[in-house]
Amino acid sequence: MKRGNLFLLIGNMFANKTGTLMHEIEVLRDFGRKKILVAKPDWDTRSGHGDIKDFHGKTMTAVEVSTTSPWEIFHLISREEECCGKLDVIAFDEIQFFSRDFYLVVNRLLERGYDVIASGLALDFRNEPFGSTLELIGLCPDLRTVRWLASRCAQCGEVAYLTQRLIDGKPAPYDSPQVLVGGKESYEPRCYSCFELPEKPSGAYSLKSP
């Protein structure tokens, strides 16, 4: 069986990752005539259940997959294919929320010949790896299938690759939890110069996230 291809859309918050994912899905459906299943983690509730949503409010129907057991996607694929025929592409949004097994799940999908398109945060608010997003680069056949999206710094207007977390308008400390669901009231894009992370250990330390 011919191995599928992975197309990865990664970046910070407010980089239009979901909007870009939806555009790619529409092109694949409308011009490529591909059958696509769109999926998202089951505890990303920001866009409501059963949809993915960009920050302009555009939505697209999506099935929900267990964050702790992303192997569930194979059950959802079987169900969809029994009803509506063979799928070509599996699309995932917010992949940083899936457990580290997600790497193995995507590899299995590619082995089974599905193309995969996936978007998510590369880094958390600490500028440290978020979930298995960065590991998935290892499954891309060449670097043209990875697109690193950026936003603009809310402080100075330069290109912004980082996500600044704010609590009551002030930079959140290093020890606040990795996942804190919120929008523009809790996060803004920032460049490396304007990024602030109070209480970051000054000496040697280990990654907090697994």
Q: Which of 24, 81, 94, 188 is catalytic?
A: 94
* Min separation Cβ 18 and Zn ion, Å: 23
Cβ contact 160:189 at 8 Å: yes
Q: DSSP strand E in 110-180: where?
A: 115-121, 146-149, 151-152, 159-160, 162-167, 170-171
**Cβ nearer to Zn ion, comparing 39 with 123:** 123
3-class DSSP assignment, residue 44: coil
Burial of 140 (0-12, 13-18, 19+ CB in 10 A): middle
**Cβ nearer to Zn ion, comparing 13 with 191:** 191
Q: State the binding string over 61-90 for Zn ion (x if CB under 5 A, else -).
A: ------------------------------
**Cβ nearer to Zn ion, comparing 149 with 194:** 194
The correct pick among 156, 167, 179, 181 for binding Zn ion (CB under 5 A) is 156
Q: Which residues of 147-174 are buried (b: 16+ CB within 10 A; e: fewer)?
A: eebbbebbbeeeebbbbbbbeeeebbee
The correct pick among 13, 28, 106, 153 for binding Zn ion (CB under 5 A) is 153
Q: Decide if 26 is catalytic.
A: no
Active site residues: 94
Contacts to Zn ion by CB under 5 A:
153, 155-156, 158, 191, 194
